[in-house]
Amino acid sequence: MPFSDVIGQERALNVLSRSITLNRVAHAYLFTGIEGCGKRKSALSFVQAIFCGKPDACGVCPSCKKVASGQHPDLHILEADGAFIKIDQVRELQKELSYRPFEAPKKACIIDGAEKLNQSSGNALLKTLEEPPGDALMILLTAERAGVLQTILSRCQELAFQPLSVEAVEGRLVRDGFSAEAARIAATLSGGSLKRGIEIATEGVLAGRNEFLERVTSFELSNIAPLFAASEEYAADKDRLPELLELLLSFLRDVLIYRRTPEALANADLAELVAREAARFSERRTMELIEQLLDMRRQLARNVNARLALEVFFMRLAAR
């Protein structure tokens, strides 16, 4: 997986490639950026290039193939076991890094979810970050920089990964075989995340989007039973609820911008529905709904009663 396989992160990849060329690879990196923007793929490409001994990996030698398949004995990937990365996991990683590399010039590890290092596991990792055994390479990834321990931040060279452009996501989706229409809509709803774009394009999100938005925008306080039924239904589907709220947020943002830049709608194929709601809500009222929706998402992240939270928000949305 050469650097060319990573889309939209040319600046970050240039930094990594140049560090190899100049023999200035740091011992510990922190890659920050939203979920699905290419951090993990870039980390694997970086390790692959170092193991391959070139500024960019060839992608075809035995070492490159082992990294790409996740089978290289000198590459260790650490992810959370449950809600956190536990101290026993860190100690096991430290033991693996202490051994001499089997094939590569050095050992390497990727810690995916650095914000999930708690105080004990994070503190256990500090010494290794400062002085990795055998010149090991450590790459930490996070989509939540604010959640990473300050002691971890201070010991890593930070490299920021930007949200991908709509054009970059759309182009990759088309290249991967999605229809031009599905790719365009999924890309505009992706929020700069290729992972999110792929999920939208493949999991039937687009097929049910119109029905969902028509349903929630038709609620009336004079007939509250459908509102309560929808709240119960959506609250019960915990896996899909974040996705539905993201669709609603994107739609409300379109309602907000419709009067000024109707050509910039993310949901361009739903322009008629957007126009209807823009006529119904003032700009100020739309902004209030967006803030209330964002606040509800924060509450749901704290495990409040999802059904009750949806009922309250839908009643606000139904108010004329």
- Asked whether residue 143 falls in the same domain as residue 191, the answer is no
Computed from CA positions of residues 308, 309, 314, 319, in that sequence, does the dihedral angle turn out positive or negative?
A: positive
Q: Which of 47, 36, 37, 34 is nearest to 1 (CA)?
A: 47
Q: Which of 174, 211, 161, 234 is nearest to 10 (CA)?
A: 161
Give, for all 320 residues of the chain, the pLDDT tens digit: 788 889 999 999 999 999 999 999 999 999 999 999 999 999 999 999 999 988 888 889 999 999 999 899 999 999 998 889 999 999 999 999 999 999 999 999 999 999 999 999 999 999 899 888 888 999 999 999 999 999 999 999 999 999 999 899 999 999 999 888 888 888 888 889 999 899 888 866 777 888 899 999 999 999 999 999 999 999 998 888 888 888 899 899 999 999 888 888 878 888 899 999 999 899 999 999 999 999 998 888 788 899 999 999 999 999 87
| Residues spanned by the domain of 241 | 204-318
- Asked whether residue 233 falls in the same domain as residue 181, the answer is no
List of E strands, 117-176: 137-142, 157-160
- pLDDT computed for residue 319 by the predictor: 87
- Asked whether residue 85 falls in the same domain as residue 120, the answer is yes
Q: Which of 80, 31, 20 is nearest to 55 (CA)?
A: 20
- Asked whether residue 93 falls in the same domain as residue 141, the answer is yes
Report the C-alpha gap between 108 and 112 in whole angstroms: 13
- Asked whether residue 125 falls in the same domain as residue 52, the answer is yes
3-state secondary structure of 158: strand
- Asked whether residue 7 falls in the same domain as residue 156, the answer is yes
Report the C-alpha gap between 162 and 129 in whole angstroms: 25
Read off φ and ψ for residue 268, nearest 5 degrees.
Answer: -60, -30
Pair of tokens at residue 56: 């960019």
- Asked whether residue 169 falls in the same domain as residue 252, the answer is no
- The residue type of 222 is S
- Asked whether residue 252 falls in the same domain as residue 218, the answer is yes
- pLDDT computed for residue 263 by the predictor: 82
- Asked whether residue 138 falls in the same domain as residue 278, the answer is no
- Asked whether residue 182 falls in the same domain as residue 120, the answer is no
- The residue type of 183 is A
Domains of the chain: total: 3
3-state secondary structure of 223: strand
3-state secondary structure of 216: helix
Q: Name the domain boundary from 202, 222, 257.
A: 202
Pair of tokens at residue 301: 């992240």
- pLDDT computed for residue 186 by the predictor: 86
Q: Are 313 and 293 in contact (CB under 8 A)?
A: yes
CATH code: domain of residue 214: 1.20.272.10
- Asked whether residue 125 falls in the same domain as residue 237, the answer is no
Pair of tokens at residue 22: 């100049």
The single residue listed with the structure tokens 């992160």 is 9
- Asked whether residue 147 falls in the same domain as residue 73, the answer is yes
Q: Name the domain boundary from 98, 126, 160.
A: 160
Radius of gyration of the CA atoms of the chain, in A: 23
CATH code: domain of residue 79: 3.40.50.300
- pLDDT computed for residue 3 by the predictor: 87
Q: CB-based contacts of 136: which residues, under 8 Å, 6+ apart?
A: 27, 97, 106, 107, 108, 109, 128
Q: CB-based contacts of 46: which residues, under 8 Å, 6+ apart?
A: 16, 139
Read off φ and ψ for residue 294, nearest 5 degrees.
Answer: -65, -40
